[in-house]
Each structure stands twice: as structure tokens, then as C-alpha cells.
A and B are shown apart, each in its own frame.
Chain A
Amino acid sequence: MAGDVWVVVETLRGEVSEITYTMLAAGRQLADGLGAKLTALVLGNETEALAGTLGVADQAICIDHAELAEFNPEVHLRVLGAVLEEQKPRLVLLGHTAIGTDLACGVAQRLSWPLAVGCRSFTEDSDEPQYSALTCGGKLIATGPLPGPSCVVTVMPGGYKPEDGMADKAPPIEALAVPGGFEAARTRFKAYIEPPAGDVDISKEPILVSVGRGVQTQDNIALAEELAKVLGGVVCGSRPVVDQGWLPTTRLVGKSGKQVKPKLYLALGISGAPEHAEGMRDAELIVAVNQDETAPIYGFAQYGATVNVLELMPALTEVLRKN
């Protein structure tokens, strides 16, 4: 309804994604602060089964259609746009994800509602709720109001605990008919492509030597490999290294890669952008080496050193070998 806080539930292959619970935790706080209801909106196929853990919300609105079974940016956007235009919630929360941002940008532009992406937390210490978003690779925090009557935000992990948005019960469910037809849709989901099998599973490795842009060239990956070998671990990396083709995608840590919680995460030449932090900030011990002393990674590593990683890798390998 108008004035309420809505969370657009994110699902992938028929399962509720963790970001949904982060959003519900944020949404609960916002709704309570505004004295509004919290609504979970579920677009999908056989959506009732998905609502079983959404009980932190006051209600779930379920829109069911076979065409909504898998994410189709065009079709989902049309349905979401039509529902939001009619219901006019005060705030709409979507995940800062491959699914959520496709929808958030489209729907905000369509309805001319203000949009803030990459929000990590919200406050209500004035008349209007305020957003706090990470920008410039996590080096800056942008803050501002979320003006009425309606705003769209995307939420990234870090500000709220998913456990606080999770319940073992379903909220009251209202089924809503699909607002429009899909006849003219020009976008069609075809199939999933499974991740390549056969490589090590970095999410199960206790020791990870992780390399970022600071490794500079493909040849230097060998230095990390040698270090990992004497440490008894494996090499993984951040997005730029994988995009350069220096490591396979199976070794990618972060938002679009794997979530890892090793005993040791040795981050070498990694800045610690939010997308990367998402995948590794829960590691037991994070040691970061980066010559940029303002690198965001030092905000969540336990130990750090600002020496050159290309010099440190062989030096560290050497010391470990000697002992």
C-alpha cells in the first residue's frame, strides 16, 4: 500500500537468496521507524512455497506465473513496474545484485522515482529516512535523504545481519493477479550454464592466497602459486585478475564468485571493493598487503602491511621454506 516499505524478494532457481533476508532486516527497521507495514513482494512460479521464511514481513504479496519462474529482466520489470505504479509504496528495496540492479534501474526510471544504489544502511534521525551507500570502490560513503512519496534503493550486504531478516514462518499471503500480458516480450530465458566442474572448491580450502590488481601481470601469478604451495593453500583472486584471464572463474572470490571463510585469507594487492569484501569478510584471519594505505581492505583486515606484494611473495615463500 501507499506509504509502506516493500522488499522485492530475490530468488534464484527456486530458492530465496540471502540478500533477501538482509533486505528484510533493513526493511523491518525502516518500516518500524516510519510506522508503516513491511511487505515482501514475491514474483515467481509457485511462490507460496518461497514465502515460508519471510515472516519478518507483515505480509507477502505473491504474483504467480509460469513466465516468472526464472529471471527475465524484461518480463519481471514489466510486472514490477505495474504493481509499484498501482501500490505506490514509500520505499522499495531490491538487492544490489545481478537481478536486483537490472530491475531497480529500470523501474525507478520508468516511474521517475529517485534511486540510490549500493546502500548499506539506513537511518531515520530526521523527517525523512536517510541512505548511506558505498561508492568509489568502497573508498567513499555517500549519504542523503530518501524523499517521498516513493524511492527505490538497492541494498548490499554488510549493514544488516541476514539472521535478523529470517523467520521460520510465513507472513499472511495475498495473491495478486499478473497485471499484464507477456505476449510482446522480446527477452527470453533459455537455460542455466552450470559452473565448470573439476577445479578445487575454494570455499572449502582453509588457506587462501588471494591476488588482486596489484599482482600486475599474469607471470606474477606463479609467485602466488609458490607461496600457496608452501602454505598448504590455493590461489584465488578478485575480479580484475579473473577478467584478465589470469585465473579461471572458479577461483573468483566475491559477489559474483564464491563466498569463502578460510582460516587464513592472505589478500595480496587487493583494494577490498565492496563486491570483493562480500565474499571474504567472514574469514577467520585476514592479512592484507597493499601499498595504498587508504585501501578499503584495511577497514576489515586484522593485519596489514604496505610493502610491495611482488617483493613480499618470494620473501615470504623463502622464510617459510627455511623453517
Chain B
Amino acid sequence: MDIAVLVKFVPDLVEELEIDEDTGMLDRAFLRLMPNELDEHALEQALLLKERHGGTVTVFTLDTGDVDETLFTAIAKGADRVFKIVGEGFDEGASNHRQAAVFQEALQGTSWDLILAGTQAVDDLDGFVGALLAQRLELPYIGYLTKVVLQDGGALVQKEYPGGLNADIEVACPAVLGIQAAEQPPRYVVTSKVMEAMKSATIEEIEAPEVEIAGEIPLAGMSLPEAGAQAEMIEGDVADVAESLVKLLRERGVVA
């Protein structure tokens, strides 16, 4: 079975996010982007399926900046082909509606039975890429998946509900699946393998086509959460904090 994996780049939340005073939007000037974590789980799930059943794994991403290393890493992990979709303004960020539309066109050139994407991303605002794409392609979509098993003509997937409850759902191919977590944590590859991929493999570039988009939500502005009910900060070094915390817990009657 041939599987396409969609990777979206999102702001690295370890970095401080700032608002551009002129635009009132997220300041992208010094923003560090990283591949969406759940998309890495989608890739892992796809690679596991390839190992079990054969077929191919093809990875697509929009050229939002430094994406090459991620694509070569995907090759080093076992992906067969990687596509970088180049287009104007992608480094300014592209809405999920636009990403879904671009992916739809880009997918036409390759063979696939299943499309896997992270079920959501940290910066989603106008929906989830995989779910939007599925509807554009008029294919079934199931999100929040923690397991995918291939079976005759389709897949048996495990969808996650609150409280540890899951449901088994069957779907016929082709379909789009939103991955919450792969069956195992995304694999690690050593740098030397990535370097090897950089020498031997090629990133295939495609021009983003003109796409029609309807239903993008208007965004008026962004802000940092108000510092209303802020935590009382305990100052000092580790030893001070440990002493203060134990004192606090004792006062609160949490420890004897």
C-alpha cells in the first residue's frame, strides 16, 4: 500500500512568541519553525505500515523555510520520496485551508492509497489540514487515531476518546487519517544517516499551483494571554525553592 504523509511546519513553542506591533499578528521575523510533532507521529505510523506490508511512503511539505533537513531525515528513516512545494509567501505562514488546497494539487502526481497527517497542529486556527484535505478530495476522514492496521482493501483504525476509551473503526481506501500518536514513538536516526541521505537522495521540488480557497476565517489580531491570575513565583535557587515548597505544602496540610 502506498502512503502519503503531510508535514506542516509550526512555531517552536519553546521560543518566546511576540506580537508584531504594526500588524497585531504573530511576529514571524525571528520565529523558529519546526515540523508539527503529530506529523512526525504520522510519518512513524506510515513507516511502520511500510515495514509490515511493503509499499511506499511519500512525504510532502510546504517550503516554509528550513525544511530540507526534515525531508532528508524522513528519507533516512525510510521514506521513499520527499516533495517540497515551493510557492510565494509560504514563509509568511499559510492558512490550513491554503495548505490543504496546495497538498490536494501536489498529491495528484503520485500514487497513494492512504494519506496520513497529524490530527492537529499547535497553531491551528482554521481547522485541521488532514480533515480539510479529505473533504476537498471527497474522501472519508477519521481523526485522533492511535493505531492503524492494514486489512483487505482498507484499514482498521483506533480512535481515541476521553478517559482512555478507544473505538475500532473500519475504513475503505482511499482515505485520509489524522494521527494523534503512532503505535511507537517516532524513531531516531543518527546524523550520519541523515548526511548520507543528503548526499544520495533528492528533494523533489514542485511549484505550488494556483488554488481556490473558500472559508478561511478572518483573523483580526493576536494577543498574549492577560497576566490576570498569575502564579505567585517562588524565588531562589533549587535548594531555596525546595525548602519553600515543603513549607507551603505543610501550611496547606498537604504533607504532615
Show the binding face of A for B, using Cβ within 8 Å: 12, 70-74, 97-99, 101-102, 104-106, 108-118, 130-131, 133, 135-147, 151, 186-196, 207, 231-232, 240, 242-245, 249-250, 252, 255-259, 263-264, 271, 273, 285-289, 292, 294, 296-308, 311-312, 315-316, 318-320, 323
A260 and B154 CA atoms in complex are apart in Å by 38
Main secondary structure of the interface of B (DSSP, over half): mixed
Cross-chain contact B125 with A109 (CB below 8 angstroms): no
Q: Report if A142-B249 is in contact (Cβ < 8 Å); known contacts: A302-B232, A311-B238.
A: no
Cross-chain contact B169 with A285 (CB below 8 angstroms): no
Q: Which residue of B lies closest to A109 (CB)?
A: B135
Q: How many A-B residue pairs have CB under 8 A?
A: 272
Listed by A's residue number, 26 A-B pairs whose Cβ atoms lie within 8 Å are: A71-B167, A101-B119, A102-B143, A102-B178, A106-B134, A136-B122, A137-B122, A140-B223, A141-B222, A142-B125, A188-B170, A188-B171, A189-B168, A190-B156, A193-B158, A193-B166, A193-B167, A194-B165, A195-B165, A257-B162, A303-B233, A304-B232, A307-B238, A315-B241, A316-B242, A318-B242
A55 and B125 CA atoms in complex are apart in Å by 31
A73 and B217 CA atoms in complex are apart in Å by 23
Q: Which residue of A lies closest to B235 (CB)?
A: A305
A292 and B233 CA atoms in complex are apart in Å by 12
Smallest beta-carbon distance A242→chain B, Å: 8
The 0/1 profile, CB within 8 Å of A marked 1, for residues 109-121 of chain B is: 0000000000110
Cross-chain contact A114 with B225 (CB below 8 angstroms): no
Smallest beta-carbon distance B212→chain A, Å: 10
A296 and B13 CA atoms in complex are apart in Å by 11
Whether, in the assembled complex, B89 has its beta carbon less than 8 Å from a beta carbon of chain A, the answer is no
Q: Which residue of B lies closest to A114 (CB)?
A: B217
Cross-chain contact B169 with A193 (CB below 8 angstroms): no
Cross-chain contact A192 with B13 (CB below 8 angstroms): no
